[in-house]
Structure 1
Amino acid sequence: MQLSRTTTRRPPRAVLAVGALVVAGALLSPSSASAEPGTAAEAMEQVRQAAQQLTVVDAQIDEAEVIVARHQEAARAAATEAADARRKLDAYEPQLRAIAQSGYIAENQSRVAAFLSSDSATELVQQMATLDAIADHTNAIIAEVALVRDAAELAEAEAASAAATAEAALVQLKAQQAEVQARIGQYESDFARLTTEEQAAVTTAIAGPTLAAPTVAELPVVPGSASATAIETALAQVGDPYVWGASGPDGFDCSGLTSYAYAAAGVSLPRASRSQATVGRQVSRAELQPGDLVFFYDPISHVGLYIGNGQMVHARTFGQPVAVTTVDQAGYRFGRRLG
């Protein structure tokens, strides 16, 4: 085993700091109370703004969940490495015991015995050389054990640090999720106080007009392709409720729907909309083809699945089920092509 005597301390494997969750949670802090709306129009505008804010928060929570998952995976990997390092150290125990029992500490006595028992100078030199070789081997083993011990202690320290980071991130995520749930409850309560017409106006302003869902046969897609399968799967969910943080099969948020649709085609997508916006290659509005992912707002906080003819299917906001709508609405940024 060739080991360097210098042990370089590596950075913790949980490379995404808990601070990232603090940043992600900035918009989760309670906002100052809005003035009580004086008119129906003001009430509608407040609900519309709340829906938009929840979309951003939804995307942030998705990202925070990804960060926590990475922390947890880093902690598991660090714990495995620490266990491996400890097993390597334990493997040296028989050799160390043998060294102790062989009288390694009585090296000088062995040399005297070699001198007294040698019949010639040549034999004495050979015995002395053998003793020196044994001593060198023993010293090498002890040096290796010291290095392995240091590596094991470092790995165990890193595992403990990674586990603590993962736990702290999880605690913070749960607190943020609880706060979002409270804000969702307030939004839904405010939304419920609007008239049917006002509710329709708010959801149209946020999610676009609801259009009749076409069949896959009506769309310009290649039958059997990944895009066709994803579109068919997404269209089959039209009418399912918007559920924050859900990836189906009976409720969806925006990135949950796109990841669910493409999973049916054997394509794995990241969970968060902002992460999905890094997959494939970017295309302009004029270049959009059925199966492209389409993204909205800055920073990215919403994603839909383009189905052709200027339309997309998406899961947009509370009170609005999965629906087909136009891709040409406020906040449009770009498309991403997976293939």
Structure 2
Amino acid sequence: MSVTAVVAVVTFSPNPATAQPANPPQTASEALQRYNEVSKQVKQVNEDLLKARTDLDARNADFDKANADVAMAIETEKQAQALEEQFRGQVDTLASASFQGARFTKISALLTGSSADDFLERATALNVLAADNAEALSTYTKAVSSAAEARRLAEDGRKRAGEAKAAAEQLIAEVEKKKADLDSQAKGLEQAHERLSVKDKSDLVGPVDDGVYLAPSSSAGRAMDVALAQRGKPYVWGAEGPSSFDCSGLTLYAYRAAGVSLPHSSRAQYGFGKSVSRSELQPGDLLFYGNSVSSIHHVAMYIGGGKIVHASTTGVPVKTDSIDGGGRDYLGAKRIVG
């Protein structure tokens, strides 16, 4: 193997943020170590990209929801205005009559009636008129209030839509930049992988485990079975199956098959489920790696017995591993269901 060839690709990474020390590795094993370091950095960029895309989806959803709220508010206002027009005449007539001193009450009905039956008929009519007038006034008042509230909601919706659109436009630029960074770094990493020796590639993949693991009869167990069924499939940045995966793509794919929806980002997935301690892990739990929540770069699925199944990095297919095989920076675990 040409160690110098590996150095040419890994040391002079296109992105200065992942540039390596000037001293080149002197052995193949050092080259593999350097490859693993750069691989972790590229995974970080990939997670940045996936998180930005998840955020963009959320902003676009906010924009669509705001526009839908505006449309509904406008329709509500139209209906309220129609009710205003319908009852305004009746309310105006009542108000005008009261202003002009019209006072036809039950007492006047009694004084002017020619008989008891006549009084009852007039009194009943007065009750109907009073109820109609009260209903008209109530309906009119509610329509006026509804129209005003609809106008307020429409204005609020337009404001939220504008803010969501501006945030989405900013995120689009961020996504495009991160995608360019990822493409550049991933290309260098793939070239470095091609230049690793056969032994280094074998060490990178590690032992192959196609053993049987018993999953519980639950949604988490179903997800675990699906994840294990992907063993041997290649790692590809941003892939979520069915023929290739990255880390969060594998867990997303597995839980989707179990009827649970997760975002395609390990950092975003950390926001789901209930936190569990390492001593309480159960099959199907998701394990996260990173020095902090904001720097999470990897997610794996626990399968019992201190082992995980995960999609780790370029050149390594989906496989089982120890918990520490997911990274030395284990952060925590989440129970997604159950």
State the TM-score, normalized to the length of structure 1: 0.70
What is the alpha-carbon distance in structure 1 between the residues aligned to residue 139 and residue 218 of structure 2? 64
TM-fit CA distance, 1:283: 2.5
SS at 1:328 equivalent: helix
1:50 to 12, 27, 38: 38
Name the SS for the 1:245 alignment partner: coil
Q: Which moved more, 1:327-336 or 1:92-101?
A: 92-101
Q: From 282, 288, 294, give the equivalent of 2:281.
A: 288
Q: Are residues 51 and 151 of structure 1, via their aligned partners in 2, closer, same or farther at CA, if it must alter by over 3 Å?
A: same
Q: 1:136 & 1:327 partners in 2: Cα distance?
A: 67
Contact map agreement 1:242 1:252 (CA 8 A) in 2? yes
Q: How many pairs were matched up?
A: 291
Q: 1:60 to 1:136 in 2, by over 3 A?
A: closer
What does residue 23 of structure 1 align with?
none
Q: 1:156 to 1:277 in 2, by over 3 A?
A: closer
Q: Which residue of 1 aligns with 2:242?
A: 249
Q: Which residues of 2 match residues 101-120 of structure 1 at below 5 A?
A: none
Give 1:182-197 correspondences, 5 Å limit.
182-197=184-199
**1:210/1:323 contact within 8 Å kept:** no
What CA deviation, in whole Å up to 9, does each residue of 1:48-77 have, x standing for no partner? 211011222222323222211111111111
Task: Report 1:1-339 matches (<5 A).
Answer: 30-31=16-17, 33-35=19-21, 38-41=24-27, 42-94=30-82, 145-201=147-203, 203=204, 209-215=206-212, 219-222=213-216, 224-278=217-271, 279-284=273-278, 286-299=279-292, 300-329=296-325, 330-337=328-335, 338-339=337-338
Residues 223, 254 of structure 2: 8 Å contact kept: yes
Are the counterparts in 1 of residues 324 and 330 from structure 2 also a CA contact under 8 Å? Answer: yes
Q: Given the superposition, is the C-alpha separation of residues 96 and 318 from structure 1 closer, same or farther in structure 2, using an over 3 Å criterion?
A: same
Q: CA deviation at 1:98?
A: 7.1
In structure 1, give the amino acid aligned to 2:223.
A
Counterpart CA distance in 2 for 1:266 and 1:94 is 46
Structure 2, unaligned runs of 5 or more: 1-13, 102-107, 109-129
Structure number with higher helix proportion:
2
Unaligned runs of 5+ in 1: 1-27, 105-109, 116-121, 123-129
Q: What secondary structure, in the 3-state scheme, does the structure 1 residue paired with 2:17 have?
A: coil
Q: Determine which structure has more spread, i.e. the larger CA radius of gyration.
A: 2
Q: Distance in 1 between matches of 2:284 and 2:141?
A: 65
> How far apart are 1:213 and its partner, in Å?
1.6
**How large is the RMSD of aligned CA atoms in angstroms?**
3.9
The answer to whether the 8 A contact 1:310-1:328 is kept is no
Quick one: percent identity of the two aligned structures? 31
With over 3 angstroms needed to count, the CA separation of the structure-2 counterparts of 1:294 and 1:138, relative to structure 1, is closer
